[in-house]
Structure 1
Amino acid sequence: MKLSRFNLASLTLGLAFLYLPIVILVIYSFNASRLVTVWGGWSLNWYRELLRDQAMLDAAWMSFRVAATSASAAAVLGTLAAVALSRGGHFKGRTLFSGMLYAPLVMPEVITGLSLLLLFVAINAERGFWTVTIAHTTLTMCFVTVVVQSRLHALDRSIEEAAMDLGCAPVEAFLRATLPLIWPSIAAGWMLAFALSLDDLVIASFTTGPGSATLPIRIYSEVRLGVKPEINAICTLIIAVVTVVIIIASAASKLSKTQAESAAPM
């Protein structure tokens, strides 16, 4: 299909609107000047300054810990939920279960964060690493479920039935026959959950406590007082990490789709 000039111009303007600010941020992270709006030449000074900013590094370490833990929990729970929805048939309460599972996809984050805050206050839970992790698991589990469920629907269930005919119990048949085929989609869901958790600000601001600020919260609190060059540097590093995660997730999702198509009946 040949693009018209109008469509090409619209596409160019749209991509520029989305990505030009990010490109400018990355370029100015190598700016030698302390003034973020004045170009002073190329330099790595602010990356070296970032390595000496212990508060920013602690916030980054907190974010990566929360993201890794919540993504792992979301991968397990989301996979189990996907199996229940795709293999459980029309069990009683299925509509309610799926509705509650997918609610975070459409619910504003401020409502989710506030409701979780009220829950933690009601049970007198000390807010910190674990409350943020639970909140992010609640947010990201539905995304893992969507990814894994789509792969399960594409698989031929006769593979599990053949394994059970050969003497495997239902759980063993799933672990031996189905899990290796959906493993790339689980990995893709984990990476998606990791990226979403690493990026979250709203829910984390409701559920965090003293001494457990995540990197987005730290950046937001400093930006309100003025943009420091170190912020450009840390944002560039986060962009690089998220880009790598998205590329790996896309590759894993494509591999899962290819395996699902090869396993489907002709």
Structure 2
Amino acid sequence: MRRARWAYGPFWLTYLFLYTPIVVLVAMSFNAADTPYSWGGFSTSWYGELSGDEAIREGLVNTLVVAAGSTALATVLGTLLAVGLARYPRLRVLAVLATLPAILPDLILAIGLLAFYSAVRATLGLHSVLLAHTVFGMAFVATVVRTRLSHSDTSLEEASRDLGAGPVTTFVRITLPTLAPGIVAGALLAFTLSIDEFVIAFFTAGPKDPTLPIVIYSMVRFGVTPEINALATVLLAVSFTVVILAQRLTRLTDSLR
């Protein structure tokens, strides 16, 4: 038993290394002092400062618009792509190309997208960021949905067609409900990745439409303040809430099936 307890040492040290900075960040967001390096008492004033910061509000609105739009497009296109790749397994080259945006480094993908926009003489703005986020979000959605599809029972679709249902009816009433947990998981993954993404947004955004990560970067260049810690805490709380809701929704969907 003692040896077994010692075996958990590296495990807990790893978690301590990962989550200690997050705990410190959350604690310092309630710091009353102007500097994040010394404790000046408990205060929630920095959360009030967030609501009054016009740059943060604008960046948050832009981020939510891009995340919602790219998630919707990536979910639809990624789901259709996953179904197509599963129905035609011989197209291995297309399967590799479909997952390539998720494997490529963000810097390479950002430079490639910027070069493409320059080649077609497209203007940069929220629309360019939205399309760029759709590209790599679609790859993640397709991967998750394809994994879900590989564990589904294809005999249900065959039975539906044998009973006279057409391809569209079978897809809507059989395939989509079966893939619902994977679609939800892929959509939430694409949404969270779009909110946190910085490199691609930095290369493809216009000067007048900064997203929230770009705004945070411009603020961090002059030093970390408790206001930034408060903003990071809010984003952390939103991320935890989305993950919990996704788990609840996935379990509910599985139970209804």
Q: TM-score range by the shorter chain?
A: over 0.9
SS of the aligned residue for 1:4 comes to: helix
Task: Tell me the alpha carbon deviations over residues 118-172 of structure 1, each in whole angstroms, 9 at most, x when there is no partner.
Answer: 0011111111101101111111111111111111111111111111122211121
Task: Tell me the alpha carbon deviations over residues 223-255 of structure 1, each in whole angstroms, 9 at most, x when there is no partner.
Answer: 011112211111101011111222233444556
Aligned residue pairs, count: 257
- Cα 1:109–1:2 shift into 2, 3 Å: farther
For 1:1-266, list aligned pairs within 5 A. 4-90=4-90, 94-253=91-250, 258=254
CA drift at 1:8: 1.6
TM-score by length of 2: 0.94
CA drift at 1:210: 1.2
SS of the aligned residue for 1:225 comes to: coil
**Does the 8 A contact of 1:26 with 1:232 survive in 2?**
yes
Runs of at least 5 residues in structure 1 that lack an aligned partner in the other structure: none
| AA matched with 2:36 | V
Measured in 2, the distance between the counterparts of 1:148 and 1:142 equals: 10
Greater CA drift, 177-186 or 126-135: 177-186
TM-score by length of 1: 0.91
Greater CA drift, 13-22 or 181-190: 181-190
Task: Tell me the alpha carbon deviations over residues 170-207 of structure 1, each in whole angstroms, 9 at most, x when there is no partner.
Answer: 12111111211211221111101000000001111110
**Does the 8 A contact of 1:192 with 1:246 survive in 2?**
no
CA drift at 1:6: 3.0
Measured in 1, the distance between the counterparts of 2:79 and 2:99 equals: 14
| AA matched with 2:52 | R
| AA matched with 1:207 | T
| RMSD between aligned residues | 1.9
| AA matched with 2:161 | M
| AA matched with 1:146 | T
Measured in 1, the distance between the counterparts of 2:78 and 2:2 equals: 41
**Does the 8 A contact of 1:184 with 1:255 survive in 2?**
no
- Cα 1:2–1:66 shift into 2, 3 Å: farther
| AA matched with 1:47 | Y
Task: Tell me the alpha carbon deviations over residues 101-124 of structure 1, each in whole angstroms, 9 at most, x when there is no partner.
Answer: 111222111000000000011111
| AA matched with 2:21 | P
Measured in 2, the distance between the counterparts of 1:189 and 1:183 equals: 10
Q: Percent identity?
A: 44
| AA matched with 2:166 | A
Measured in 2, the distance between the counterparts of 1:234 and 1:228 equals: 10
**Does the 8 A contact of 1:185 with 1:252 survive in 2?**
no
Measured in 2, the distance between the counterparts of 1:31 and 1:17 equals: 22
SS of the aligned residue for 1:236 comes to: helix
Measured in 2, the distance between the counterparts of 1:88 and 1:3 equals: 51
- Cα 1:247–1:67 shift into 2, 3 Å: same
- Cα 1:82–1:215 shift into 2, 3 Å: same
- Cα 1:35–1:89 shift into 2, 3 Å: closer
